[in-house]
Amino acid sequence: MKALVIGASGQLGGALVRALERGGIEAVGTYHTRPLPGAVALDVSDADAVERCLAASSPDVVFVTALTRGGVDYCEDHPDEAHAVNARGGAHVAVAAARRGAKVVYYSTDYVFDGTAGPYAEDAAPRPISVYGRTKWEGEEAVRALAPRHLVVRTTAVFGWDRTSKNFAMQVWERLGGGQPLRVASDQWSTPTLAEYLAEASVRLVQLDAAGIVNVAGKDRMTRSELGQALARAMALDPALIVAAPTAELGQRASRPLGGGLTTTQLERLLGTEPLDLNESLKRFRRAWRADTHVVHAPAVVSSDAARLKQEILERVRRYHALAHAPRPFVPYKTRVQYSGRVFGAEEMTNLVDSSLDFWLTLGSYGELFEQKMKRRLGAHDFVMVNSGSTANLAAVLALMSPLLDEPLRPGDEVITPAVTFPTTIAPIVHSGLVPVFVDCEVGTYNVNPRLLEGAVSPRTRAILVPHTLGIPCDLDAVSDLARRHRLYLIEDSCDALGATFRGKPVGTFGDLATLSFFPAHQMTAGEGGGVVVNTARLGRVVRSVRDWGRDCWCATGESNTCGRRFGWQLGDLPLGYDHKYTYSTLGYNLRPTDLQAAIGVAQVDRLTEFVETRRRNFERLYAGCEPYQDFLVLPARDPRAQPSWFGFPLTVTNGLQRGELVRWLENANIETRQVFAGNILRQPGYRDIRHRIHKDLTETDRIMRDTFFIGVYPGLTEEMLEFVIARFDEFFARRSGRRVVAPPDATG
């Protein structure tokens, strides 16, 4: 299915795009007055433009969420514009969609009624009392008359956390957050509807091919002032600042249907479950609010003693960080020059404590924010946080074996991968019954040799899994071309390489999936933690299912009935209405991290650019220091297409120099060294007897295992440390050549 969302830059339009993508449905969006990256400009009042848009996008379903620039009162003052958008715009879409056999979903409102007999069912007679209500009713009638395949969704009092929107929740936030009271109608009744729920229920109705008029609204009926107070409490604002007043005193330009709201009996019958109540809606709203306001700080108004105490605690944490984690002086030979380590500031500690005070121990609002930040940072379709880089690899492999895919991997299928690797890159392949096909690597890049890939393909080959070793991008031109020509799944193990690019594009965004690690040795840390980068729409839901026990349900922790159909599903051989929260559509595990880990990651990702640039500077300093010794050291290779995000500074000894000799010299000076992970994985005791195939030989792999090591470039290294390291290389090679070396004055080793 392919969907066109008209008005994707609005609150409901944005929620629809997200809901469609979560369901693996391709979505194209349009905008009018507010540009949206990736969306198409469209004025629905222009019939020719609508025709061209549908011809270009060829949708199966068109969601019409477009609204006039202002709200109800704006329509009252601009009736021609309201008619052009709400009525004629709906008609234009209906005509263009009918020509192509596409379904039209048109969004309307309880403002088509006069408010004397609410809440209203679908068969109630419309009697609008405002321009907005009248033009929406006219739009309904046009769609029903002109689009044979249509669905009119009536809703009311739609709210959600969306800073670009003027919805009621954002009005409450802006006014109360600034300490200002907000006068709200005490006599306007509605059934408030969370935008995300409205979108998700709409997608389900389309999947059920529902037609006619269907009310989609919240379960609870209340006044606007009661809703305002509930929203204030959800955002830790003072509900007393919501001043209840009769509509007659508010000076609103357009008449409102006072006794509004919608019944949802038909919706319940179609979805098999009750609509979202206000309590569940506010839980979801609060998660979105918290995720955003961890970046843009909450207003200065603090409404409770607990909130004031929390602010005091966090301020003391900042002071503690300044005292307890102040930089320590470097003492040559005594201070350990680590190959990696944690680099963090006060923000990481305050986020961690903030999360602990909420005591939301499982993945929560910090996790959502972290996933959003990583998704935006990489420009990926989705990003799924897990509890380690190793389980990221496991989740990626299992996702490609899921029965939710049309062409999943199956036991016995082959996966091409290099023999220089990390063990948990290979373990998921082996445990899943897949067969690793090992290819030799290159000294200098320590990645798979791209010239050998083509010959490794056999009729059983279905995937390729390539690490970007030590932060050096592998030849993604060759790898991507191989995957495309042979229709192979591609997984990038990018655990070492966050921040690297190839031809200007982030590493991790070339394959179907990619994996990341946030162990302290990597470019950024969450203590433990990892993630799966999703670059193919259909895989997002699959990866989340694998991470979340294999369940079909996509509700966040602590939430129920996100789909609006919790007891209305019929899947597999389960009884009709079996609880969707306990329905499992693929093999999975609990691979979820905690919100405490995500809280650290939220602060770390903001420093990622700084971290990567520092690693590059440190690398260049070490490269210049080791350049004179290329008779004995193979320095890292440089590819003009790639910009590495250095995990370490790798060196391979040559011309008779023994690795152990140089490594012992450095370690005796307290300079930490590491070897390239497992080296030749097939020589490791746990991997000697695994089922596998080797393409040609692993000569260079064995050389890397025998002769290669690396030292650190991480941001915690100071200029003094780097100079000390270079001086030790100078002294080593001077002694080896028989030249006299004078030790530095501060040397005590």
Residues labelled as active-site residues: 522
Radius of gyration of the chain (CA): 30
Task: Describe the strand order of the beta sheet including 461-467 as a list of residue ranges.
Answer: 382-386, 530-534, 513-517, 489-493, 461-467, 414-418, 435-439, 693-694
Helices (H), 101-180: 131-146, 168-177
Exposure string for 100-128, b = 16+ CB within 10 A, e = fewer = eebbbbbbbbbbbbbbeebbbebebebeb
Question: Taking Cα atoms as reference points, which of 623, 640, 587, 647 lies closest to residue 722?
Answer: 623
**Which residue shows structure tokens 């420093």?**
607
Distance (Å, whole) CA 490 – CA 416? 10
690-694 contacts: CB < 8 A, separation 24 or more? 690/426, 690/430, 690/436, 691/430, 691/435, 692/435, 692/436, 692/437, 692/438, 693/414, 693/435, 693/436, 693/437, 693/438, 693/458, 694/419, 694/437, 694/438
CA distance 747 to 749: 6
Question: Are 404 and 421 spatial neighbours (Cβ–Cβ below 8 Å)?
Answer: no
Strand, helix or coil at 551? strand
Strand-pairing partners, residue 242, are 182
- 155 close to 109: Cβ distance less than 8 angstroms: yes
Assign 63 to helix, strand or coil.
strand
* Cα 563 from Cα 706, distance rounded (Å): 55
Q: Give the integer Cα–Cα distance in Å for 560 and 582.
A: 11
CA angle 3, 265, 280 (to 5 degrees): 70
